[in-house]
Structure 1
């Protein structure tokens, strides 16, 4: 028996087939997400849902040999973004991704951005890229498609397309990701929506348990799509409790699970920690910088530009390897390090904040010190969130896990984080952590295990 997991990421899409007996992947198929489309404005970040669906079907076609043995399908997806669907369940808009910037645009009739106004009007966290910030912008500017009946995430849309459903069903992990969600009641705050001038009828129903979203034409149950952060956690840790996950990819996060209710007022609002519903119950406490691996990619782009100016064009892999070599050598030399603040893309609390480089002197103004400073700054930014965790939860941490290409392919960053945490960051056996986690959740949602914890425990035994 096999369980399938599909992950719709911002830059790549993956499918894995996991053996129920061993917990190991028997098939992995992945491709670049080439669904980006150009918008009319520089701040738009759009993707084509139909193209994404074509790519998902293409990956599943690569799994046809094993498909008869698949018992259930799970889906994870890039969080926060939305698209609109009509009454037949077909897309009538592009996917507005989590990187979309329209929420930071200033409202014509107010001295505030759309995101800031929504925060102040509702009392909920709201950043540009959150689905209901995007929808709020559309409502205020008359841009909601006329034939839109529901909005949903790209994962919900893929589940609808696989099952033939005309109506999306949204998991709380994704519902919280689009905003204005009452986690304690597992529903959207319709009163807050009304205060902001939005009609709650466009929101899909929220999954109240682990019931499947539907079945494929050949009868396989398909779980409600879950957020990629929660899926990556499931796909990276060997136990839910007492494990801190550090993920560094395009973005980055620290995440820890708790089955105790945590009220927002228990957290330091300035620290930026989020409480995210966990599929099947409980919560993740998450600290998520906006920059993450994009900071190091920004430095790579700088070195590429310098290379082109001198007539050379090394590929990305070569430059990354050289940057890490330079950084190690700079650290070995023991010169005064550069202090790099890596909030180059702002923070969720302050989108206008920018990074800084300090402590420049004649001995440390080198490519190696710059690379080392960027890596140290990325690690420091994540550690600020670890320090902001409630003391009891922070003190319970006994294991560490790492995921994402920034951890897998950059041993120096991993070493920096391990030194700061005093923990070894264990890497999961496969690289497609979110797709693996989606498969684990799919197995639980289909009833093959009593709950998510049991599914993880049994599938990790192998």
Structure 2
């Protein structure tokens, strides 16, 4: 067996394919394209909708695979897939996509119907636990009810007479895996958890809950084990990508879990911070434990990640970038590139490190798991400190505070103190001030992985496990991650 494996990450911002060399323990080739498949109408964007064309997403996947194969001249042993593990794509009995893909960023379930949001109605129908300021959750599901998760989106479609009940739901990576192999989409526990109606104790759908929500059992995918082979690359895909026909494809797994597997060498003594479009603080635990306002997500093959998710991330910094970008355009008709604005903001904030401005920012622009009603704030403004560099630095410090708070909460849940801090994701790798702020908060030096595209690495490692290159994902991470 060769040492080459292909990993695909179907992200919100970009789509990436990589080839890893398990002997050299590094990524040897990669290709990334921007995910330009969003088709949300302007009037729907104002309502918080987020819809995408799955055919365009798949075209992006095909393009990155072909580029990676053509550049490397390598035929991988197997292919692993990951990506945004929430959202909704409907498909028919012929495995053809029907309608747009609704992404995890979609806010339609916060809309009101007869004075209550769809999340609140769903919670009441299913007998969810409801605490003040926290999102409702169903028992044993490991996560709260969140707009953008798959089951709430199904519920919204059902209650707006937009759901053809002959169709089945899946997420983007699950659909992409089926397209590569011409098989019916399936899911694994790492993805199924983020639908919102997965029973952690039974490792299966909570069908009684699904019935109470007036959703049909047939709308939900078959659940299979992580790191299992779901099919092989078809002749059609081989001709489009130059992949070898018959190459095994492993089941899609969640990007959060794959990122952990592609970043962490020592699962038991590490707290992992990932900052991409979203952000997570994660620790591994072998058994189900009380989770407080955190999420308890099945890990690949066994164990769980106790994680603070969805509070802050790259999109938090993007709020400030968008403000600056629009202000400059409205004042000067100059549309500065986003990367330039990010770079300038960080450079300016770095200069303000020398002086404590006293200005304080809360980065909770979309609320948090602890308090979904929370809003972003700027406090302690004076005429001496109201400058963009101080706002930027305070925003970055707020992001570090929220990511660290999740770790502190995990300790309260019974997790042992960790001695290793690992960081990943472009939102962290490109922001030295955030790295420094996290090191200060945790009291640990932050280790930033040498390889980029950690989620795709994790997916590639999953495919290695699937074809018995590794005995399990634990061994795969230990063997590959430096």
TM class by shorter chain equals over 0.9
Structure 2 counterparts to residues 68-83 of structure 1, below 5 A: 69-83=75-89
Contact 1:233 1:434 in 2 (8 A): yes
Unaligned 5+ segments in structure 2 are 129-137, 139-143, 235-244
Q: For residues 64 and 324 of structure 1, do their structure 2 counterparts lie closer, same or farther at Cα, with a shift above 3 Å needed?
A: closer
Q: Which residue of 2 aligns with 1:50?
A: 55
Return the alpha-carbon distance in structure 2 between the equivalents of residues 310 and 117 of structure 1. 44
Measured in 2, the distance between the counterparts of 1:145 and 1:55 equals 28
Aligned to 2:276: 249
How far apart in 2 are the matches of 1:395 and 1:183? 22
How many positions carry a matched residue from both structures?
450
Partner of residue 109 from structure 2, selected from 92, 97, 103: 103
Alpha-carbon distance, 1:293 to partner: 1.9
Shift of the alpha carbon at 1:277? 0.6
Deviation at 1:206, TM superposition (A): 0.4
Contact 1:6 / 1:75 at 8 angstroms: preserved in 2?
A: yes
Unpaired runs of 5+ residues, structure 1, are: none
Matched, 1:119 2:141: no
Normalising by structure 2, we get a TM-score of 0.89
Q: Distance between the aligned counterparts of 1:45 and 1:352, measured in 2?
A: 21
Matched, 1:196 2:213: yes
**For the residues of structure 1 that align with 2:52 and 2:369, how far apart are their CA atoms?**
22
Q: How does 1:427-442 map to 2 (within 5 A)?
A: 427-442=448-463
Deviation at 1:369, TM superposition (A): 1.1
Superimposed CA distance per residue, residues 23-77 of structure 1 (whole angstroms, 9 cap, x where no aligned partner): 2111111000011112463322011111111111111111334465311110001
2:291, 2:413 within 8 Å by CA — same for their partners in 1?
A: no
1:445 matched to 2:458? The reply is no
**Residues 95 and 154, structure 1, Cα contact 8 Å, conserved in 2:** yes
Contact 2:165/2:219 (<8 A) preserved: no
Q: Give the Cα–Cα distance (whole angstroms) in 2 for the partners of residues 275 and 38 of structure 1.
A: 31
> Who is 1:224 aligned against?
251
Q: Does 1:6 align with 2:8?
A: yes
For the 8 Å contact 1:254–1:385, the answer to whether it is kept is: yes
Does residue 207 in structure 1 map to residue 236 in structure 2?
no
Within 5 A, what are the aligned runs for 1:405-424? Answer: 405-424=426-445
Return 296-305 or 69-78, whichever deviates more. Answer: 296-305
| RMSD (CA atoms) | 1.8
User: Hey, what does 2:193 align to over in structure 1?
Assistant: 176
* Residue matched to 2:164: 145
Distance 1:258 1:340 in 2: 33
Give the 3-state SS of the residue equivalent to 2:422 in structure 1: strand
Cα drift, residue 393 of structure 1: 5.4
Cα deviation, residue 451, structure 1: 0.7
- 1:433-460 superposed Cα distances (whole Å, 9 cap, x missing partner): 1111110111112222111111112223
1:86, distance to aligned residue in structure 2 (A): 0.7
TM-score (norm 1): 0.93
